[in-house]
Chain A
Amino acid sequence: MRKALLPSLIILATILLVIRIFYLQVVDETLKLKSENNAIKKKFEYPERGYMYDRNGKLLVANQASYDIMVIPRELKKTDTLEFCQLLNITKEDFIKKIEKAKVYSPRLPSVFMSQLNKSEFAAFQEKIRKYEGFYFQKRSLRDYEVAFGANIFGFITQVNEKLVAKNPYYNSGDLIGRQGVEESYEDLLKGIKGIKYIQKDKYNREIGSYKDGKYDTIAVQGEDINLTIDAELQKYGEELMINKRGGIVAIEPSTGEILALVTAPSYDPGILVGRQRSKNYTALYHDSIAKPLYDRGLLAEYPPGSPFKILTGLVALQEGVIDENSTVFCNHGFSYARGRFMRCHCRGGALQLHRGIYESCNSYFATAYMKTINKYAKPAQAVDVWANHMTSFGLGQFMGYDLPTGKKGKIPTSKTYKRIYPNGGWRSTTIVSNAIGQGEVLMTPIQLANMMAIVANEGFYFTPHIIKKIEGHQIDKKFTTKHTTTIDKKYYKPMISGLFDVYNMGTASALKVEGIDICGKTGTAENFAKIGGKRVQLKDHSIFVAFAPKDNPKIAIAVMVENGGFGSTIAGPIASLMIEKYLRQKITRLDLEKRILTTSLQAQYAKLGGLSEAVKLQLRISDSILKKKTQIPINKAKIDSTPIVKKVI
């Protein structure tokens, strides 16, 4: 017995090893595929990306064929470099540089030598590609934009970066991936699934057929087509109205939360980010730190909301029971709230109730309402938190959860905020009263403003704004069909709406009435300053307007924000009313107003902030092509040492 142990162990161990090696070498085929073996080459078949349509089924984004020239440095043979360079229209230095770069990535693996050649650029090369060993081509589909607007909504596609290649095994070097906009947020649906073909090669590197009769091959799956909630006509019109201005427009369908238009200005033609010119154009857009064409102002720009915020101040005061419809405040063209502190007011003055307070946008009225709200509670800290909680129920001070990859929270101060600002305490309702009129510590993005109007239109609820309307064969995310209710009772919205309606009838927007459409709206003006040459200079006010229409059964809620546009009723108001008319009537009756807005240029204002960059000029040229007419571009080389700062003044 004792003699048998070691020999038995040896025999058992040997059998175990042989079985394991048999499994590795004969049974498990995947190891052979994994081996970065020259004998088996992976060929990818790239699916077409899904199309994008607008809410009415109009095609916005399709695809076009494009070719990438790939290189495997180790397989390169000496060839006629000169002819090669001529065919591709590159210099010999370029050629050497690109090969070196590929070698650094990997001598064994393919890397992109030249990307995104269109059909005609590729045709000449295609005939001779067999002559150049180590080179091959990869067909891909690139975006083909059917429209010249909506760049901020679509986003773009670009080569995946090496970090992601290392992290996500789906992507290979040189693959394309959606960046920004819908391309990024719906990448998984749009991209489809690429197919893999395993090709058997002999030792002379010739392809001799498919490996194992295609047993391991997979077929490419096309990307899903999607419908956006965007109304193409409205979007286009919005971008036209914003030419030569900076700012954003967000329009939402109140009953669904669908985003009808999302305009940012300046913007660019999405088509310029396709093809060989892509990287040059992208660099120009990217480096424009002044006009920021890649910056979606509708989602990202945080502004003090100004007067439109009075709507919320009023609603909270009603809900908290500190005022009712008939509460009267006497306005003496301003509001004196502490010794030596005076808030000016542009209303006609006298004794006002809530109704006139709204349509005349009386500062005194809402400052009083806000102070009453805060003073209702024993401690201002408690009161501010109650107020902030109401604000949160409107989606303020937070990411709203919409399906676009960028966003800002805006700002709603809480007791913590003031504890930080006033560590020794001593703050009370008078200290923070400027919040009442949408200044102070309050910041909102245009999409939050638009959503606020959607809530008022709905009398107290909203659906998370979203850009996806329909995905073939899929449900859209449940969170977009879930109703969010605010903390304000429905009954308090009625007086508010009636006040907003009279803004158009008797108030600050009475000049903007559209015959036959009952619009409820509110103007806003935010003062702002910039440091120019070290001096604090007051710039022209930001022009703000929010509205929804029609008054009964609302179809559209909108927020318009024009940087340095002046009073709310000069630019933002007209734009909002034109947008509403366009959407509800599909045609414009007030052609004079339309012409005035289209031809208004604020470039002279912006020139004070700094010279026009290449990208802005590019944008202007493209914008011109939409309008089919020439515009003079003012150029000013004045220097600034800081970006604009926006601040309250009371």
Chain B
Amino acid sequence: MKNQSVANNIDWISILIYTALVILGWLNIYSSSLSSMEDTYQKQLIFIVLAIPLIIVILAVDGKFYEKYASIIFIISILSLIGLFFFGKTIAGQRCWYAIGSFTLQPSEFAKTATSLAIAKYLSDTQINLKDVVRQWQALAIISLPVLLILPQPDPGSALIYSIFIIVLYREGLPAWYVWTGFVTILLFVLTLIFEPQYVILIGLLILIFVHFKSRLADRNIILSTILFALISGFVLSVDYLFDNVLKQHHRDRFNILLGKTVDMKGIGYNTNQSEIAIGSGGWVGKGFLEGTQTKGGFVPEQHTDYIFTTVGEEWGFAGSVAVIALFAGLFLRIIYLAERQKTKFSRVYGYCVAGILFTHFFVNIAMVVGIFPTIGVPLPFFSYGGSGLWGFTILLFIFIKMDANKVNEW
């Protein structure tokens, strides 16, 4: 009886989009694997088929299970990340896989789900108020723990994803200045790289003066403004210093390509250049399925994993690219809509986390592929080749779908 109620209440729209994305992803992996003579598309098919029992299990488990065992799941996940330092397998310089026979598993793909559950669990406690500074730090500590374990692998891409939790916390009452600080930090960072630091400081000063005199007399606080100015100046100068003296050349190169400062198209700029060419050659409607010459020619490196979207761009053109982007955006908005509809704070926060994580992956990945974000290895959810990724995202999404379907039973 229970299964039937799940079937009745389940959000078929999300499942439909999920299915569409997985199938489209597989078609594009199939196309890109033709040039490499590898059996990636066969392996991906196995991963997809194996995802079906996984989904059934997730939907069959009692809806309360995830809330009840959130902490334990989180702890197991953290232990699995720590274990990498001892038993991990190094692939392409990154120590972030467990090898089980010929299969490899990437625990960081599952850590996102675990962290989401942990944050949801923590915030669902009625005692918790994010106006409280101690609570703020505790919540941030939960997020920072996996980040600190993932960064040294090194896997900056996976770590970057966790920044979206700030937005989730903001939704649940974290003061706005956290978000603003994050936003201004990123803005200053980019501006400093583009312009000379003294100009950025000058602009900052002008804005502060403007804000100071525009605000009401009572709100004017010359000391706070001065401190802010000092902070901005310090940050800008240290970015300049860090960029030139601390970052390694290949990191600098990634930013420089983006800012149009380096044009070494055979070296570091090769990936971005080739992926832009592949997408750019697609035109309005693309060259057609299996007709992409750049895809066939194998010009784009890592095309079946992080650069899978280039195949979409080349073979399906602007129309296909927009369709895929619309599917993703639709899924994220649907999840947020569902999250806001939740009866419990736990499932609402979790839903938010799901939407946020998927969105961050989506944006960072496609922005990198189209050349407006530095080269950072982040997979495109449901699309990119890889078992850990596919299963990780599937689990992340379907736990929420289960929670959503279960809300009726909670009365």
| B-chain residues with CB within 8 Å of residue A31 when the two chains form the complex | 276-277, 279-281
With an 8 A cutoff between CB atoms, is A3 at the interface? yes
| A-chain residues with CB within 8 Å of residue B372 when the two chains form the complex | 16, 20
With an 8 A cutoff between CB atoms, is A378 at the interface? no
Q: Are B284 and A10 in contact (CB under 8 A)?
A: no
| B-chain residues with CB within 8 Å of residue A166 when the two chains form the complex | 266
Q: Are A35 and B370 in contact (CB under 8 A)?
A: no
Q: Are A34 and B277 in contact (CB under 8 A)?
A: yes
With an 8 A cutoff between CB atoms, is A108 at the interface? yes
Q: Are A25 and B171 in contact (CB under 8 A)?
A: no
Q: Which of B361-411 contact A (CB under 8 A)?
A: 363, 366-367, 370-372
Q: Are B280 and A35 in contact (CB under 8 A)?
A: yes
With an 8 A cutoff between CB atoms, is A38 at the interface? yes
| A-chain residues with CB within 8 Å of residue B278 when the two chains form the complex | 35
With an 8 A cutoff between CB atoms, is A32 at the interface? yes
With an 8 A cutoff between CB atoms, is B350 at the interface? no
| B-chain residues with CB within 8 Å of residue A34 when the two chains form the complex | 277, 280
With an 8 A cutoff between CB atoms, is A591 at the interface? no
With an 8 A cutoff between CB atoms, is B76 at the interface? no
With an 8 A cutoff between CB atoms, is A14 at the interface? yes
With an 8 A cutoff between CB atoms, is A37 at the interface? yes
A13: which of B170, B171, B363 is its contact (CB, 8 Å)?
B363
Q: Are A14 and B370 in contact (CB under 8 A)?
A: no
With an 8 A cutoff between CB atoms, is B75 at the interface? no
Q: Are B283 and A25 in contact (CB under 8 A)?
A: yes
A25 to B159, CA, bound (A): 31
With an 8 A cutoff between CB atoms, is A421 at the interface? no
Given A22-B318, A31-B280, decide whether A6 and B336 contact each other with a Cβ distance below 8 A: yes
Q: Are B313 and A37 in contact (CB under 8 A)?
A: no
Given A6-B167, A17-B363, decide whether A35 and B294 contact each other with a Cβ distance below 8 A: yes
B170: which of A2, A18, A26, A28 is its contact (CB, 8 Å)?
A2
With an 8 A cutoff between CB atoms, is A423 at the interface? no
B143-174 to A contact mask, C-beta < 8 Å, 1/0: 00000000000000000000000011011010
For residue B355, which residue of chain A has the nearest CB? Answer: A6
Q: Which of A1-49 contact B (CB under 8 A)?
A: 2-3, 5-7, 9-11, 13-14, 16-18, 20-22, 24-26, 28, 31-32, 34-39
A250 to B223, CA, bound (A): 82
Q: Are A17 and B367 in contact (CB under 8 A)?
A: yes
B119 CB to closest chain A CB (Å) equals 14
Q: Are B297 and A36 in contact (CB under 8 A)?
A: yes
Given A26-B283, A28-B280, A32-B280, decide whether A17 and B366 contact each other with a Cβ distance below 8 A: yes
B220 CB to closest chain A CB (Å) equals 25
A211 CB to closest chain B CB (Å) equals 13
With an 8 A cutoff between CB atoms, is B340 at the interface? yes
Given A17-B363, A18-B322, A25-B321, decide whether A5 and B170 contact each other with a Cβ distance below 8 A: yes
> Secondary structure of the A side of the interface?
helix
A249 to B317, CA, bound (A): 68
With an 8 A cutoff between CB atoms, is B88 at the interface? no
With an 8 A cutoff between CB atoms, is B332 at the interface? yes
A31 to B276, CA, bound (A): 7
| A-chain residues with CB within 8 Å of residue B61 when the two chains form the complex | none
A10: which of B277, B321, B332 is its contact (CB, 8 Å)?
B332
| B-chain residues with CB within 8 Å of residue A37 when the two chains form the complex | 281, 293-294
A34 to B274, CA, bound (A): 10
With an 8 A cutoff between CB atoms, is B329 at the interface? yes
Q: Are B293 and A38 in contact (CB under 8 A)?
A: yes
With an 8 A cutoff between CB atoms, is B41 at the interface? no
| A-chain residues with CB within 8 Å of residue B179 when the two chains form the complex | 5
For residue A2, which residue of chain B has the nearest CB? Answer: B171
Given A6-B167, A35-B277, decide whether A25 and B299 contact each other with a Cβ distance below 8 A: no
Given A2-B171, A11-B329, A13-B359, decide whether A21 and B321 contact each other with a Cβ distance below 8 A: yes
A24: which of B266, B276, B297 is its contact (CB, 8 Å)?
B276
Q: Are A35 and B281 in contact (CB under 8 A)?
A: yes
B320-364 to A contact mask, C-beta < 8 Å, 1/0: 011001101100110010001000000000001001100100010
| A-chain residues with CB within 8 Å of residue B333 when the two chains form the complex | 7, 10-11
Q: Are B293 and A9 in contact (CB under 8 A)?
A: no
With an 8 A cutoff between CB atoms, is B25 at the interface? no
Ordered by A's residue number, 19 sampled pairs between the chains whose C-beta atoms are within 8 Å are A3-B340, A6-B352, A7-B333, A10-B332, A10-B355, A11-B333, A14-B329, A20-B370, A21-B325, A24-B276, A25-B321, A31-B277, A32-B281, A35-B277, A35-B281, A36-B297, A36-B299, A37-B281, A37-B294
**Which residues of B pack against A, CB within 8 Å?**
167-168, 170-171, 173, 179, 266, 276-284, 293-294, 297, 299, 313, 317-318, 321-322, 325-326, 328-329, 332-333, 336, 340, 352, 355-356, 359, 363, 366-367, 370-372
Known: A11-B329, A28-B280, A31-B281. 10 other contacts (CB 8 A): A6-B167, A14-B328, A20-B371, A24-B276, A25-B282, A26-B318, A32-B280, A35-B278, A36-B299, A39-B293
**Which residues of A pack against B, CB within 8 Å?**
2-3, 5-7, 9-11, 13-14, 16-18, 20-22, 24-26, 28, 31-32, 34-39, 108, 166
**Shortest 3 CB-CB contacts between residues of A and residues of B:** A31-B280, A35-B281, A24-B280
